[in-house]
Amino acid sequence: MLATYLIGLREGLEAGLIVGILVAYLGKLGRRDLLGRMWVGVGVAVAVALAVGAVLTWGPYALTFEAQEILGGALSIVAVAMVTWMIFWMATHGAGLSKELRGQVDAAMDRSWFAFVLIGALAVGREGVETALFVWANVAGGSDPLLGTLGAVLGILTAVGISWGIARGLVRINLSRFFTWTGVFLVIVAAGVLAYGIGDLQEAGVIAGGAPAYDLVGLVPPGSWYGALLTGIFNFSPEPTWAQVVGWVLYVGIVLPLYLRVMRHRQTPKPVGATDGAAPAPNAVRPSASARAVPAS
C-alpha cells in the first residue's frame, strides 16, 4: 500500500503542478474562458486512465495461463520502462516545464478550440496511464489488490490537496527534494517489478527457468507480516531465480547511479552569468513562488 500511495502521490502531484501552471497562465492572460475546455481534456485523461486500469485488471481473465503470464511479464517490463523514463524526464526537464507549457498555450490560441482540450488531456493523461500501469504491475506482484488500489487513490487525493495548497500559497514544500527522493524509491520499486516480470516470463517458458539463486524462506516466511510488507512494497521474493537476481542488480546498478548523477548535475551551482537553457523565463508563471511549484530537478 505504501508503494502505490507514493506512486499516486508523485504522479498526482506532477499532474497537479502542470494543471496549476496552465490555470495560472490563462488567468494572467485574462482568458479564463478557456479553462472549461482544458478541464474537459483533464476529464478525458482521467477516463482513459481508469479505462486502462479496468482493462489491465479484468481483461486477462479470458486468456490461457501461458498468455496471462506473457502479458503480465511484458506489461511489467513496459511499466518499468515508463516509470524509468518518467523520473529521468522530470529530472532533466522539470526546470523548463513552466516555459514549455506556456509556449503550448500560446500556440493553442491560434488553433481550434480542440487544442485546449488536447492540452488538458496530455497534461494529465501521461501521469494517469503511468499510474494505472505501474500500480497494476505492483499489485500483480503480490500486493493486496484492494489495499494497493486504495493506496493509489489516497496518494492522488493527497496530491490534489497539496496542489491546491500550493496554488493558494498555503503549503510550502521543497519539490526538488521531494521528487529526488521519491525518484530513488521508485527505482527500487521498479527493480522489484522488473524481477516479477522476468519471473512471469520464466513461468510462461519465454525465458529459461532455473534453480533459485538463494532461499530466504526461513528468514522471511511467506505468511509473516514483514514478508507481506516487503512483497507489497518491493515485490520481494524469498526464492528468486538467477535471472531475477541479475535483472534486479543490473537495473539498480545502472539506473540508480545515473539518476543520482543527473540530480547532482542539476543541483550543482552555476557560475555567475551562466545560463541554463531549461531555466524558466523571467516572467514565468508559477502556482506559488514560495512553494517552488516547478521543481528544478
Reading the chain (297 residues) residue by residue, the pLDDT tens digits are 677 787 888 888 888 888 887 888 888 878 787 788 888 888 888 888 888 877 777 766 667 778 888 888 888 898 889 889 888 887 777 666 677 777 777 777 766 667 778 877 877 887 788 788 877 777 766 556 677 778 888 888 888 888 888 777 777 777 778 888 888 888 998 898 899 889 889 988 888 877 788 888 888 887 777 777 777 677 788 889 999 999 999 999 999 999 999 888 876 655 544 444 433 433 444 444 334 444 443
- Are 263 and 78 in contact, with CB atoms under 8 Å apart? no
| pLDDT at residue 280, rounded to an integer | 41
- Rounded CA gap, 256 and 250, in Å? 10
Strand partners, 212: 241
Those residues with Cβ within 8 angstroms of residue 182's Cβ, 6 or more apart along the chain or in another chain: 6, 9, 10
Nearest residue to 72 via CA among 203, 190, 189: 203
What letter represents residue 18's amino acid? I
Residue 147: predicted pLDDT = 75
The CA distances from residue 155 to 101, 175, 199, in Å, are 25, 16, 28
Q: How much is the pLDDT for 113?
A: 65
Whole-prediction pTM = 0.70
User: Is the alpha carbon torsion for 203, 56, 115, 167 positive or negative?
Assistant: negative
> What pLDDT score does 142 carry?
59
DSSP class of 96:
G
- E-strand spans in the chain? none
Can you tell me the distance from the alpha carbon of 294 to that of 258, in angstroms, rounded to the nearest whole number?
22
Helices 175-203 and 114-140, interaxial angle, to 10°? 60
